[in-house]
Amino acid sequence: MSRLSRWLPPGPARWFLLPVYMLVGLALLYAVGRPIHVWLGNFYSGPRAPYLQMPSPDAMTLRWQTPQAEIGVVRYGRRPDRLEHTAREATPGEEHRLRLTGLEPDTRYYYAVGNPDGNRYAGAGYHFRTAPVSADVPVRFAVLGDPGDPTEQQKAVRNALTAWLERHARPNRPWLDLLLTTGDNAYRSGSNEQFQRGFFEPYAGLLRSVPVLPAYGNHDARRRVFFRLFDFPAHGESGGLPSGSKRWFAVDYGPLHVVMLDTTSQPVVPGHPMLDWLRRDLAATDRPWRVAVMHHPPYTHGSHDSDRRRDSHGRMFEVREHLLPILEAGGVDLVLAGHSHMYERSHLLDCHYGTSGVLDRPASLREANEGVYRKRTGPHGGTLYAVVGASARANQGPLDHPVMAVSEAKVGVLVVDVDGDRLTGRYLYRDGKIGDRFVLRHDPAAPAFDNGCQS
C-alpha cells in the first residue's frame, strides 16, 4: 500500500476525497505563500534612481538606493558642465540620503549621483530647482491620484502629463515645481517591491527633477515601508510651523502653503495633535494660496461613498466633521484627496459638514460666474474640493454627489497653476486632452457666504 493510500478510505469514496485533499493543499499553499511573497517584497534590494525630498529655498534632499553598500556622493552645480560642489556620505550603505544645503533660492542646480569612484546617474535630466521665496512667482504642480498601480493606464497618464508639460512649458520656469499624490502610492500592500514597480520606476523621469510630496493611503499602510522611503519635513525644513511628526507637516513654495495630513492612521478627532497643529499652522502662514492634501475625501459618490458611515471606517465622516471646519476657518483654497478612483471636483463650498442629503445649497455652495469662482481670502471665503483618485485606474460609481461640478470615472492627472490672484486647475486625460478646467480667483469684492460659519 502506498503512503497516499493510507490517508484515503478504501473503496470508491477515495476518488472523491482525493481532489478535496488537493484543494485544501492548494489553499494552504496560497495562505502561507502570499504573506511570504509580500513579506519578501519588503526587502527590495535593487537599484532605485534618485528622487527629491523636502524642498526649500536653500536645501534639497536626494534619496536613492544601490544594490551594494557604498559611500554615496552627489556632485552638483549651477551649470551642467561644471558640477563643482560635492556632498558625500560618512558611512557606506545601500539606502542613500544626502541633503544639499547652502543653496540659492529659486535656482536650478544640475547634479550627478554616484560613489567616490564615479557617477551612476548623470546627464541632461538630472537637475532640480530650489523653492522660490517670493509669493509673486508662478507655481505649477501636478496631482497624481492613487497612482501606485503599474497599469498601462498609469503609463498613458504619465506620458500625457510629460507631453503636456513640454508643450505648455512656461518661460524661464521649470516644467513642474512640485508633484503631489493623494495616497495609495503602491498597490496592493505598500511593500518596498511594490513601491519600486508601481511608483519609483514608472515616475523616475519626473522624480529626478521634481520634489514629490506623497500622501499616506490605506494601501500604503499595509506595510511599514512608506515612512522609510520618504523624508518628511517634521521640523519645518520646508517652511510652515514645525509639526514634530512625519505624518502631518507643511511645505512652503513661493505663493503656496501645502499641508499634508494623515487621515489613514490618525484618528481625526477634536484634541488630536494633528488638528491642533493644523489650526496653529494655518493661522501662522502668510502665503496667499493654501492647499490641503489627504487620502480620504470628505465628499465623494464614486467607488467610495462619503454618505455611508461604515465606508472606510467612518474616515470620510471624521474628515468632514472635524478637519473641514479647521481648513475652512484657516482660509484653505483647495482640498485634494483620493481613495475613490475617479475625478470629482466641487463648486465653491463653505460650512457643509453633513451628508449630501442635508446640503443647504444657497448657504453653502456657490457656482462659477463665467467660468471663474471668486472668493475672499481669510476664514470661510470658500473652498474647492477635488477627488483625484484615478491616475492608474478608474472604477465605477454613481458620480452624483450634489456638491460636485464635475464627476467622471476617467483616468487622468490634475495640473494646477497658481499665478498672482488666480489658481487654474486642468484635469488631463490619458489621451492628452483637457477635461475639467476651473479657475479660482482671490477677490476682495467677492460676496461672502451667509451661513453663520463666519461669526
Instruction: Point out which residues bind Fe ion (CB under 5 A).
Output: 184, 217-218, 339
Shorter beta-carbon distance to Fe ion: residue 188 or 224: 188
How far apart are CB 450 and Fe ion at their closest, in Å? 36
Phi, psi angles (nearest 5°) of residue 254: 60, -125
Shorter beta-carbon distance to Fe ion: residue 93 or 314: 314
How far apart are CB 154 and Fe ion at their closest, in Å? 16
The CA distances from residue 191 to 147, 260, 299, in Å, are 15, 22, 29
How far apart are CB 217 and Fe ion at their closest, in Å? 5
Phi, psi angles (nearest 5°) of residue 448: -80, 150
How far apart are CB 393 and Fe ion at their closest, in Å? 12
Shorter beta-carbon distance to Fe ion: residue 65 or 181: 181
In which element (H, E) is residue 252 found?
A: strand 249-253
Give the separation between CA 438 and CA 455, rounded to whole angstroms.
Answer: 29
How far apart are CB 146 and Fe ion at their closest, in Å? 6
Shorter beta-carbon distance to Fe ion: residue 304 or 366: 304
How far apart are CB 455 and Fe ion at their closest, in Å? 36
Asked whether the beta carbons of 44 and 192 are under 8 A apart, the reply is yes
Q: Closest-CB residue for Fe ion?
A: 339
How far apart are CB 222 and Fe ion at their closest, in Å? 11
Asked whether the beta carbons of 258 and 291 are under 8 A apart, the reply is yes
Shorter beta-carbon distance to Fe ion: residue 313 or 361: 313
Shorter beta-carbon distance to Fe ion: residue 183 or 288: 183
Report the candidate in 453, 443, 363, 359 with the shortest Cα–Cα distance to residue 404.
359
How far apart are CB 26 and Fe ion at their closest, in Å? 30
Report which DSSP code applies to 97. Answer: E
Give the separation between CA 220 and CA 192, rounded to whole angstroms.
Answer: 10
Shorter beta-carbon distance to Fe ion: residue 132 or 297: 297
Helix (H, G, I), strand (E, B) or coil at 440: strand
C-alpha cell at 58: 536653500
Q: What strands lie across the sheet with 422-429, from one edge to the other?
A: 212-214, 178-181, 139-144, 412-419, 422-429, 434-442, 372-375
Report which DSSP code applies to 244. Answer: S
* Whether residue 99 has a cis bond before it, omega within 30° of 0: no
Shorter beta-carbon distance to Fe ion: residue 218 or 243: 218
Give the separation between CA 160 and CA 330, rounded to whole angstroms.
Answer: 34
The CA distances from residue 343 to 192, 272, 297, in Å, are 28, 30, 11
How far apart are CB 399 and Fe ion at their closest, in Å? 18
How far apart are CB 388 and Fe ion at their closest, in Å? 12
Burial status of residue 156 (CB atoms within 10 A of its CB: 0-12, 13-18, 19 or more) = middle
CB atoms within 10 A of CB 20: 9
Asked whether the beta carbons of 347 and 334 are under 8 A apart, the reply is no
Shorter beta-carbon distance to Fe ion: residue 75 or 295: 295
Report which DSSP code applies to 23. Answer: H
Shorter beta-carbon distance to Fe ion: residue 297 or 382: 297
